[in-house]
Structure 1
Amino acid sequence: MSQSGKAIHDGARLRVRVSGAVQGVGFRPYVYGLATRYRLAGFVANDPDGVIIEVEGDRTSDFVTALPLEKPPLARIDHISVEEIGALAAKDFSIRASEQGKISTRIVADAATCQQCLDELFDQNSRYYLYPFINCTHCGPRYTIVERLPYDRRNTAMKAFTMCKSCAAEYADPASRRFHAEAIACPTCGPRLSHGIDDIAAGISGGQIVAIKGLGGYQLLCNARDHDAVQRLRRKKQRDQKPFAVMVGSVEQVSEIAEANAAELALLESTARPIVLLNSRNNLAPSIAPGLSRIGIMLPVAPLHHLVFHALRSTGALPDGEGPVIVATSANPSGEPLLIDNAQAVRRLFGIANLIVTHDRNIMTRADDSVVSVVAGRRQLIRRARGYVPEPIRLARAVPPVLAVGGALKSTITITRGNEAFVSQHIGDLDTVEGIRFFEETIRHLTSMLDVEPVVIAHDLHPNMASTRFADASRRERIAVQHHHAHAAAVMAEHGVERPTLALVLDGYGYGSDGGNWGGELLLCEHAAFQRIGHLAPLQMPGGDRAAREPWRIASGILQSLGRGDEIRQRFGTQPQAERLLALLDQPHVPTTTSAGRRFDAAAALLGVATLQSYEGEAAMKLEARVRRTAVLEDGWLIDGGVLSFRPLFERLVADEVGATAGAELFHGTFSAACVDWIVRAARATGITAVGLSGGCFLNAVLAHEIQRGCIAAGLTPLLPRQVPANDGGLSLGQAWIAALQVAERPADLEGTA
């Protein structure tokens, strides 16, 4: 936070401007209370830049000193400016209507129900008793209900509900926690559920699948201890192996089903209420997270969730000593975006859910649950959405306004405004009409809300992505950014790094500058340019893209390269194409890849952990789940001319005496050690000690921890993504930073030219 202004003279009238996340967080009532305490006159109002305050009286200096120190819990202050103006001899202090103009403020993310609201929710004497939409200035929906800024009730989904006398009185009462709480509502005047809480609890207890309308979209719920219910949900949602997240009623219950350290518990209880990946105790239905050692757990987010758990505990249907645990997964059939429309939800979820619970408060912006883990003691985002969006990433300097449209998988968009980058919520894969529609909807909404007109669109170098086609169809100038350069730049952007930096990008696939299939790259990044100074040795990819879904194909190519092609029939004879693949591998022009992800797939297949994948990353995640402690095969890799080969490691893995667990531990340890060696050699050659670590493979906690630890031991400074995901969810941030630098570095007479 910064503050500017001349020395303050008590008795003068001051104009104070506050920028940051100061709308929708109770900041105006907070200012009102502060001004009243110091007996000051004047006013406070939302304006396009944040909040404007005018105060006069004998203790204005005390007011300015206290202003940033006692702010509401959800407020984030970036800057305070103070100037003296002419006194008006005002007699009182008021909250004024919002001022209009070009917007440069921002809205905060949705926040989980606060303890004070929870106390009222279960207080029989409260008018909010058991009301599933209770909220105040410290909690509740924000980003998902706002249509545009400034954050006033008329600009949110709550404009459809006229306040009753009691709510209007609280809204106007400076002593109330709901003083100017824009989403205030009660059973008399607010939103209502289509079904009762007891109906929801009875459905879950009875083994049914229940759909409810959550903060950012519909969710599907069922009893996580009921194997049959979970399997039925898998069949109906067409989700064969991909893990489900679960929700528990309290943080005390987490220890029943998982191991959690202090950092993980703090994340669970944070106002963002993300899904946190924790080591499982394996006492839920085995179909929750098949073949994995970690399970995604979250605490109740909205009052509705708290009420469901309260009702489940009250039914007495659970065995003694067992707390209720429910699967809580997105209601998005066949990988499509979250459902938010009531009529569409009833239509699309018919046949999936036994009970569909709607309500009449519209969701203006869909937002999935965020997913995080703790790596090396710090938060690592896996999916950034509800609870974190639209908090901006602070950039090293102000840059021109840019729209970056990301990639094709785990899509996000980014818009820059001044020295901030706004990364959208997780959009998902752009391989359906609905996904593309959500992508375009997000661009319109975020651009409008930020009141920004981008000067260029940044996109992936791949010519056939839906996001690239969107950029091509626009009338703006376009800047293409190589996939792995964008991954590296995302790390540099969030860490505010502008000096030359090495970057190790370990990924599944990215379109290379030479048109090739890249995915394991060592880069030297400087300003808006990069140099490819190393890569993983190319692997055969028989069947092209199909090999990414069938790890046994990559493993077969490795066997062939080791002179053990005759083992393909023995190891993978159950695969219908195994016989034909052996002949294919002898043909010229078999596609190749430098992908790091495909090496994890190959190791999983060779060790018998996974030969096919029903979701992205399945083989690698199941391989990681086998690791308890890593081991390193000395001389298990070769580095020649910047090319890193794991031929010696794979020779060891195909030996008959190596089991799946020992092989997984040897693979992870050796892969990590080789990468550190590779980085250290590049650091010595270039004199650069900072290294960005990014790409989807860095979601592997073992890999991220080992490579980071190795870099630190070698005297280097490793930079891991913390504010955006290491996977393609962070791609748009890197694209935006590179494009913004390119535009900023142009001569003045070339700006704006295509």
Structure 2
Amino acid sequence: MAVKGLGGHQLAVAASSEPAVAALRLREQRADEPYAVLAADLAQAGLLCAIDGDAAGLLTSRARPIVLLPRHDAPRHDAPRHDAPRHDAPRHDAPRHDAPRHDAPRALAPSVAPGSRSLGVMLPGTPLHHLLLAEVAEPLVLTGGTGDEPIAYDDADALARLGAVADAFLTHDRPIHVRADDSVVRPTAGGVAGGVVVLRRARGYAPEPLPLRHFVPRTVLACGADRESTFCLARDRRAFVSPPFGDLDNDEARRSYAAGIEHFLALFDLCPEIVAHDLHPGHRSTRHALAIPGVEHVAVQHHHAHIASCLADNGERGPVIGVAFDGSGHGTDGTVWGGEFLRADLAGFERLGRLEPVPMPGGDAAVREPWLMAAAYLGPGDGPPKLDVVRRNAERWAAALALAAGSPLTSSAARLLDAVAALLGVRDRITYAGQAAYELEQHADPAETGCYRARLTPGEPLTVHGADLVRAAARDLESGRPTPVIAGRFHNGVADAVARACAALRDATGLTAVALSGGVFQNVLLTERTVRRLRAAGFRVLTHRRVPPGDGGLSLGQAVVAAARDRARLSR
């Protein structure tokens, strides 16, 4: 059923019904991405997940976000899946049944969050949701939109877009003026400041103004990234970061993004004087920025914007050692960056270190097929046929190695995680962004204390040899060590490499504060272990508190960089 909520029309099915959940996945063509579950209250949510006081506070806060929590029925990882499962359930009506009261819930359908030890849970945010759950008397899967499209908020648009998916509509006569997806957060431990990682800052949070420590003399519009796209308006000591609009390659997302900018400008009675954008000339967000006339345009390097976002999130100016780990960003040398160690403040940066660049066989194809990154990291001498990843992809393995020789290089940390996910049989091909890295985190044994060690090569920049971690994992795999143990040791090895690299850079620069940013640090296991090692080494560590470490927070970083440069120029 399509349910008209606070910020758009969402699709709902009984969370206990495998036929219903499988039919939903088939109809909206969503193969694997975990669904969130709407529970009636804390008691019902507590029967699904482990909820401590901090999690309870997030669930019952006025923002009512989706909170990612450990499941009571966490699946085993003895038999990892390599590819997306097929959901060939025929179209049919969700079965009607006499549901038990929520003190005796049915088990969640396996297709709700396949292969994940965590579950996104939320509590009702409107009276309609309270009434619906009281009537149904069991948790519901609740999801907005289909595919990469933003959530439908107009009644006619919802009927047109969701008519082939929903069997019925539950609607009302209250107009929705601005679309709003659900916000998503993950509680953290291990001494991470703030105790939470914001994965999506939307309904309940945006556009609440973020206070800025440093003055913004002229109005800045920052146009953000192409994926997880947000924009930011900044003036005086406030920043207004929009909710995300999705992938700007999608026509509806681009229209919503442009309309959102106009809405914010009218809402806050601002007119941009400076427009900040990503360094990549081909990004749609960059094109949108450059098409705005009569303003000063400021290009901001992607990873500098990530670190600046973390600085602004913590009210800091810098300089710091910035560790920016993500999928990709346009580097100042024209290569694909993504595993960067920067000396950064709000106004500028210097690249001090990086992950060792490796080929991306087929370019963007390596993002969609992580096994290609396993081939690139293992190389021709480290991929014997007894490795399952080689056997599974035997027909294309030699071609992938040949393709790597002429492919672009990347220092991306996300691609390093992808390579290990494929090596361990967790994921060879993905169906949604970040899937391989997320499933690798879910697969890892959190109790594992063993650690692989990566070499560091001094230089300008310092180089961290990520291939050492991949080869150590391959050796353990060949020896028969369980894959959750290997995944745990790999996470520990990345955290250890970050801490040792930062210690080497401290010796060279005297900097004693580290800022962690980029989409890879949405991985709570990696973030907690990295923070723990950095603090043990005597660093002050900054992590994100109010905006996502991924591209959803990038526009804030662009805005404060442009403002800092403007302040510096005006002070001359």
What is the TM-score when the length of structure 1 is the normalising length? 0.68
Deviation at 1:713, TM superposition (A): 1.2
Task: Decide which of 136, 141, 150 is 1:327's aligned counterpart.
Answer: 141
3-state secondary structure, aligned to 1:653:
helix
Q: Is the contact made by 1:274 and 1:372 (CA closer than 8 Å) also made in structure 2? A: yes
1:664-743 aligned at under 5 Å gives the runs 664-743=487-566
* Residues in 2 aligned to 1:464 and 1:393: alpha-carbon distance in whole angstroms: 29
How far residue 574 of structure 1 moved from its aligned partner, in angstroms, is 4.2
* Separation (CA, whole Å) in 2 of partners of 1:555 and 1:499: 36
Instruction: Report what 2:299 is aligned to.
Output: 480
**Are 2:342 and 1:523 equivalent residues in the alignment?**
yes
What is the aligned partner in structure 2 of residue 148 from structure 1? none
Aligned to 1:220: 11
Which residue matches 2:72? 281
Correspondence 1:224-623 to 2 at 5 A: 224-282=15-73, 283-313=107-137, 324-330=138-144, 332-376=145-189, 378-399=195-216, 400-475=218-293, 476-560=295-379, 562-564=381-383, 571-574=390-393, 577-585=396-404, 587=405, 589-623=406-440
Q: Are the aligned partners of 2:383 and 2:390 in contact in 1 as well (CA < 8 Å)?
A: no
Structure 1 residues 590 and 219: CA distance shift in structure 2, 3 A: same
CA offset at residue 580 of structure 1? 2.2
Q: How do 1:114-153 and structure 2 match up within 5 A?
A: none
1:262-283 CA distance string (max 9 Å, x none): 1111100101000000001224
Query: Structure 2 counterpart of 1:609, which letter?
Result: V
Counterpart residue type for residue 297 of structure 1: V
- Paired letter, 1:406: G
Partner of 2:465: 645
Task: Map Cα deviations across residues 649-690 of structure 1 (whole Å, 9 max, x no partner).
Answer: 222211212331111011011111111111121122211111
Q: CA–CA distance in 1 between the matches of 2:452 and 2:389?
A: 29
Alignment of 1:27-66 (within 5 A): none
SS at match of 2:569: coil
Q: What's the RMSD between the two structures over aligned residues?
A: 1.6
Name the SS for the 1:745 alignment partner.
helix
Post-superposition shift, 1:414?
0.3
Residue 570 of structure 1 deviates from its aligned partner by: 6.6
Letter in 2 for 1:685: A
Change (3 A) 1:488 1:414: same
Which residue in the other structure is 1:98 paired with?
none
Tell me if structure 2 keeps the 8 A contact 1:565–1:582.
no
**CA deviation string 1:581-604 (max 9, x = no partner):** 23323x4x3221100000110001
Q: Secondary structure at the match of 1:337?
A: coil
Contact conserved, 1:247 with 1:300, CA < 8 A, in 2? yes
- Once residues 361 and 575 of structure 1 are traced to their aligned partners in structure 2, the CA distance between those partners, rounded to angstroms, is 57
Q: Note if contact 1:459-1:480 (Cα within 8 Å) is conserved in structure 2.
A: yes
Does the 8 Å contact 2:68/2:120 carry over to 1? yes
Give the 3 Å change call, closer, same or farther, for CA 635–432 of structure 1 in structure 2: closer
Partner Cα distance (2:451, 2:567) in 1: 47
Give the letter for the 1:550 counterpart.
Answer: E
Letter in 1 for 2:133: F
1:101-129 deviations in whole A, cap 9, x for unaligned?
xxxxxxxxxxxxxxxxxxxxxxxxxxxxx
Flag the 1:634–1:249 CA change in 2: closer, same or farther, 3 A.
Answer: closer
Q: Per-residue displacement from partner, 1:278-337 (whole Å, max 9, x unpaired)?
A: 001224111111111111000011000000111123xxxxxxxxxx1100100x222111
Displacement of 1:461 in angstroms is: 0.4
* Segment of structure 1 superposing worse, 562-571 or 245-254: 562-571
**SS of residue in 1 equivalent to 2:350:** strand
Shift of 1:626: 1.8
Q: Is the Cα contact below 8 Å between 1:536 and 1:594 reproduced in 2?
A: yes
Give the secondary structure class of the aligned counterpart of 1:398: strand
Please state how far the C-alpha of 1:357 moved relative to its aligned partner.
Answer: 2.1
SS of the residue 1:416 aligns to: strand
* Amino acid in the other structure paired with 1:240: A
| Residue equivalent to 2:95 | none
Q: Distance in 1 between matches of 2:511 and 2:120?
A: 38
C-alpha displacement of 1:561: 5.8
Shift of 1:562: 4.7
For 1:663 and 1:442, locate their aligned partners in 2 and report how far apart those are by CA, in whole Å: 45
Question: CA distance change for structure 1 residues 637 and 659 in 2, over 3 Å: closer, same or farther?
Answer: farther
In 1, Cα distance between equivalents of 2:198 and 2:37: 18
TM-aligned CA deviation for residue 747 of structure 1:
3.9
Aligned counterparts of 1:308 and 1:469: Cα–Cα separation in 2:
44
For residues 437-468 of structure 1, the C-alpha deviation after alignment (integer angstroms, 9 at most, x for no partner) is 00001100111111111111000001011110
Letter of the aligned partner of 1:546 in structure 2?
A
Cα distance in structure 2, aligned partners of 1:441 and 1:576: 47
C-alpha distance in 2 between matches for 1:267 and 1:531: 38
Q: Is the 8 A contact 1:503 1:522 kept in 2?
A: yes
Asked if the contact 2:55–2:187 (Cα under 8 Å) also holds between the matched residues in 1, the reply is yes
Q: C-alpha separation between the residues in 2 aligned to 1:442 and 1:592?
A: 36
CA drift of 1:500 comes to: 1.3
1:663 aligns with 2:486: yes
Match of 2:180, SS state, is: coil
- State the Cα deviation string for residues 233-286 of structure 1 (Å, max 9, x = none): 000111000000000001011221111211111100101000000001224111
Which of 1 and 2 has greater Rg?
A: 1
Looking at structure 2, the residues matched to 596 and 514 of structure 1 have their Cα atoms a distance apart, in angstroms, of 18
Contact 2:326/2:338 (8 A) holds in 1:
yes
In 2, the alpha carbon distance for the partners of 1:299 and 1:229 equals 21
Deviation per residue, 1:534-574 (Å, 9 max, x gap): 00001111010110110000001112165436668972444
1:498 Cα deviation after fit: 1.4
How far apart are 1:389 and its partner, in Å?
A: 1.1
Structure 2 SS opposite 1:462: coil
SS in 1 for 2:208: coil
Percent identical among aligned pairs is 41
SS at match of 1:267: helix
Partner SS, residue 379 of structure 2: helix
Aligned to 1:191: none
Normalized against structure 2, the TM-score is what?
Answer: 0.89
Superposed CA deviations along residues 67-101 of structure 1, whole A, max 9, x for unmatched, are xxxxxxxxxxxxxxxxxxxxxxxxxxxxxxxxxxx
Q: CA deviation at 1:429?
A: 1.1
Amino acid at match of 1:292: S
Counterpart-to-counterpart distance in 2, 1:396 and 1:351: 49
